[in-house]
């Protein structure tokens, strides 16, 4: 097979045919936004009918184009449309010249091209590909378009196989999360007939505050760990992203929490609200963290694992309150009725939970490693096809 070296600009041209938002053509062509293209695979997830998303100027495309997502090029959004439409101006329609369309799409997805574009990107928070840089990248392609098509078909078939394997690994990883939830529920459901006690009646609780960012003496020197809700994520906390000064501790309604205090995140519309953690250091918290200090009624680990098992219940409790934000608060948490078996039973349950979670974490690590390995396969396949 004979190969040749060419610039991407020799085999593809930008085809920026503008579609005005109020034109008849805009009504006829379904709109495609960057979020509707899947990273790496280039799968088009949907074509919208004319929508508010496409009220600005767009570019026309059809089934002869390759669509290149220039915003955040590391997301690797390169698509092959199967119909005519119009796309966001963050997507550049490329017209293949003397090259198989599918092979051009494969080339644009290679790690070599992504790295070259990212090295010369514009913008920092929302980087965009410099199209002159993209079109100036040198690549190797077979001289025969028949060979180009044959290679593209083979690579796309391999890509489908890899994606099938990736989805299976992703499903396996998600299953470990489901298993963790079921195991915790199974262990704590055995305590349904155990006496419960109201949390606020048997344990000291508190929350923190955020010292004024405008007062430097509250943040320098950074002496005392300060926990934010984003760090309350079903884990032990032995370090924090930020720390406050001793002056802040004295002046800002903050409590220095001892190790083995259990934390619950009260705010957060994502997954944060209701998550728990346990301190292994002395620390303070912001106002969105609820803290249960060590007490005589509950072993810290038992309480921590109970909160972990009750995550969905806590979220449901806060969602049923109405209002604009579904937040937990100290009154709701202090009113919780928590199983309170004797300390030896609690210690036994803690050991059961730790053993079960250890096995699940091993499964999770294995799944993550497998998923990471699978996600590297496309790069290796493409490198072997074009760079050797």
- 244-289 pLDDT per residue, tens: 999 999 999 899 999 999 999 998 767 899 999 999 999 999 999 9
Q: Where is pLDDT greater, at 139 or 291?
A: 291
For residue 78, give the nearest of 111, 42, 31 by alpha carbon: 42
Quick: pLDDT tens for 31-52. Answer: 999 999 998 888 898 887 555 4
The DSSP code sequence of 311-375 is HHHHHHHHHTT-SS-----HHHHHT-EEE---HHHHHHHHHHHHHHHHHHHHHHHHHHHHHHHHH
Q: What is the pTM of this model?
A: 0.66
Over residues 360-377, the mean pLDDT reads 87
Closest CA to 225 of 202, 203, 248: 248
Q: Show me where the domains of the chain are located.
A: 3-143, 195-340
Q: What is the pLDDT of residues 172-204, one digit of tens each?
A: 888 888 898 899 999 999 998 899 999 999 999
Half-sphere exposure of 14 (CA within 13 A, CB side): 16
CATH tag, 195-340: 3.90.220.20
Alpha-helical segments (H) within 274-342: 300-309, 311-319, 330-334
Instruction: Compute the mean pLDDT over every residue in the chain, rounded to the nearest whole number.
Output: 89
User: Would you say residue 367 has pLDDT above 60?
Assistant: yes
Fold of 3-143: Adenine-n6-DNA-methyltransferase TaqI; Chain A, domain 2 (3.90.220)
pLDDT at 51 (0 to 100): 52
pLDDT at position 124 is 67
List, for residues 330-366, the tens digit of each pLDDT value.
999 999 999 999 999 999 999 999 999 999 999 989 9
Cis peptide before 377 (omega within 30 of 0): no
Nearest to 91 by CA among 63, 135, 129, 145: 129
Report the alpha-carbon distance of residue 168 to residue 184 in Å, rounded. Answer: 25
Split at pLDDT 50, 70, 90, the class of 385 is low
Q: Is residue 290 pLDDT above 70, yes or no?
A: yes
Distance between CA atoms of 183 and 374, rounded to whole angstroms?
28
pLDDT digits (tens, 9 = 90+) for 161-180: 888 888 888 888 888 888 98
pLDDT (0 to 100) of residue 271 = 87
Which sign, positive or negative, has the C-alpha torsion 146, 149, 151, 153? Answer: negative
Query: Quick one: CA torsion of 123, 129, 135, 141, rounded to 10 degrees?
Result: 140
């Amino acid at each position: 097979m004979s190969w040749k070296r060419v610039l991407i600009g020799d085999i593809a041209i930008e085809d920026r045919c503008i579609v005005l938002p109020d034109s008849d053509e805009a009504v006829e062509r379904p709109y495609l936004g960057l979020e509707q293209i899947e990273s790496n695979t280039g799968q088009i997830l949907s074509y919208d009918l004319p929508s508010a998303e496409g009220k600005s100027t767009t570019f026309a495309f059809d089934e002869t184009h390759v669509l290149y997502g220039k915003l955040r090029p590391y997301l690797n959004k390169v698509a092959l449309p199967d119909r005519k439409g119009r796309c966001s101006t963050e997507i550049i329609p490329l017209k293949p010249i003397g090259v198989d369309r599918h092979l051009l799409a494969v080339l644009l997805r290679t790690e070599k091209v992504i790295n070259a574009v990212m090295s010369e990107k514009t913008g920092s928070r929302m980087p965009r590909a410099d199209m002159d840089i993209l079109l100036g990248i040198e690549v190797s392609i077979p001289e025969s378009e028949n060979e180009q098509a044959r290679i593209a078909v083979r690579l796309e078939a391999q890509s489908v196989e890899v994606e099938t394997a990736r989805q299976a690994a992703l499903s396996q990883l998600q299953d470990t999360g489901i298993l963790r939830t079921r195991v915790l529920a199974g262990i704590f459901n055995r305590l349904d007939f155990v006496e419960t006690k109201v949390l606020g009646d048997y344990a000291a609780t508190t929350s923190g505050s955020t010292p004024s960012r405008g007062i430097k003496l509250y943040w320098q020197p950074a002496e005392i760990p300060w926990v934010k809700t984003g760090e309350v994520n079903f884990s032990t906390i032995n370090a924090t992203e930020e720390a406050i000064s001793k002056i802040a501790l004295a002046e800002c309604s903050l409590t220095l929490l001892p190790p083995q205090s259990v934390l619950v995140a009260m705010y957060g519309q994502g997954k944060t609200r209701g998550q728990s953690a346990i301190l292994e250091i002395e620390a303070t918290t912001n106002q969105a963290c609820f803290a249960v200090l060590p007490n005589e009624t509950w072993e810290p680990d038992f309480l921590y694992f109970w909160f972990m098992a009750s995550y969905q219940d806590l979220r449901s409790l806060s969602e049923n309150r109405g209002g604009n934000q579904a937040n937990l608060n100290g009154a709701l948490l202090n009113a919780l009725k928590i199983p309170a078996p004797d300390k030896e039973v609690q210690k036994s349950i803690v050991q059961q939970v730790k053993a079960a979670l250890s096995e699940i974490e091993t499964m999770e690590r294995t799944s993550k490693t497998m998923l990471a390995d699978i996600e590297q396969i496309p790069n290796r396949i493409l490198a072997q096809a074009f760079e050797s």
